[in-house]
Amino acid sequence: MSCSSSSASDDEDEGFDSYRKGGYHAVRVGDSFNGGRYIAQRKLGWGQFSTVWLAYDTRSSNYVALKIQKSAPQFAQAALHEIEILSAIAEGDPSNSKYVVQLIDHFKHAGPNGQHLCMVLEFLGDSLLRLIKYNHYKGLELNKVREVCRCILTGLDYLHREVGLIHTDLKPENILLLSTINPSKDPIRAGMTPILERPEGNPNGGATVNMIEKKLKQRARRAVARISNRRGSMGGIVAAEPKPERCLNGIDVRCKVVDFGNACWADKKFAEEIQTRQYRAPEVILQSGYSFAADMWSFACTAIELATGEMLFTPKGGQGFSEDEDHLALMMELLGKMPRKIATSGARSKDYFDRYGDLKRIRRLKFWPLDRLLVDKYKFSDADAHDFADFLSPLFSFEPEKRPTAQQCLQHPWLNVDNLAQDVVENESSIGNINVSMNNLQIKVGK
């Protein structure tokens, strides 16, 4: 969300109640920041800590993403942490080639609700989650999944090996395309003329009024949708039609890793519980210590989601067992029983496992290995399922030290199938040239 072209949520906003002391800064189109260098163009999105605006950089004549943090001390502290991390990332990547978002500038801005720390980031496109939704949760073709994976792994390799950072919250929402899915949302491709001053007739309360109007319209849309769904379920007028296939051919799927608000240095961790639930590694659940390999587990979950359109693990608490225990059970159904030394090694192991390494409250597991899951549930061909599972299965090792690094993943044959195909073409071409040369030689000898 930190620099996306689209908001954090399709049908909600941040709520105007949060525009108060210690909260968000109210921005109007045409407002200027940092001595007039940045001019607000339109709102891109929001998060718990900040709002994000498309802004025009009058010094570089580029469009940028302006992230304005809430002003309360705890939010300012979080912003300082993110600025420290983003500065280190930018310093080691002057060519901006590592598929990680670039920090351009940062400064303080005084407003009626307090002093806000602001970050200026490069403008990027939609998140991978938005791309998955755009594709109706059907999964991307494997060549596009490969291209996305190469970008993410290049970013992770840089973060892990060169900067020493663990992202700790890798997921489709935190990976943004380099450009927007809809060209009209991109200010350059849409030929947008930058707004350089506040439009006439935009009163001080304009931002709040617009927000109230938007909220009322969204509530009306949701009410209509609920009525439609109710009619459909009652066998009434409305029947759900299957959504048409989307064509993704014109969409650039190159992407960058973003949102470093929760990132930490490998040698200076801030929290035991990291990662969004569905992408959380087993060592994090068990609290047995984590490092770069936790990001690799999240990457593997993300890759599966891109290819299938569905999250791999969606645990739920039940009668007599917790969400954590269900999560561990789902992992074992896919990967086999967790080694006893891993199952019993964490600070929270006794909450879930007995001394033999068996789950205490979930006894019956239905094993469904990854390659068979891809074939049986998602209708992959046997060959595609085998090759994709060969790439991902090592990343789902319960033993973090056995998971390949991002650098090692980048060398895997599945990621380099295009190169292999090119080698085959070149080899066939070389063989053809050799045959032609041999024929010519034979003709000359015959003479």
Please tell me the distance from the alpha carbon of residue 4 to that of residue 353, in angstroms, as a whole number: 41
Catalytic residue among 93, 169, 295, 326: 169
Residues 297-322 have pLDDT tens digits of: 999 999 999 999 999 999 998 888 99
Q: Is the pLDDT of residue 130 over 80?
A: yes
Judge whether 313 and 331 are in contact, CB under 8 Å. yes
Poorest-confidence range of 138-147, 173-182, 254-263, 416-425? 416-425
pTM of the entire predicted model: 0.85
Mean pLDDT of 169-181: 97
Q: Rounded to 5, what percent of the chain is helix, strand, coil?
A: 45, 15, 45
Q: Which tokens is 360 given?
A: 């205490």
Mean pLDDT of 275-294: 98
Residues 176-210 have pLDDT tens digits of: 999 999 999 999 999 999 999 988 755 544 454 45
Please tell me the distance from the alpha carbon of residue 54 to that of residue 64, in angstroms, as a whole number: 6
Q: Is 169 part of the annotated catalytic residue set? A: yes
Q: Is the pLDDT of residue 420 over 70?
A: no
- Angle between the 142-157 and 417-446 helix axes, to the nearest 10 degrees? 110
Poorest-confidence range of 41-50, 196-205, 407-416, 418-427? 418-427
Residues 319-364 have pLDDT tens digits of: 889 999 999 999 999 999 999 999 999 999 999 999 999 999 998 9
Residues 6+ away with beta carbon under 8 Å from 352: 286, 322, 324, 325, 328, 343, 359, 360
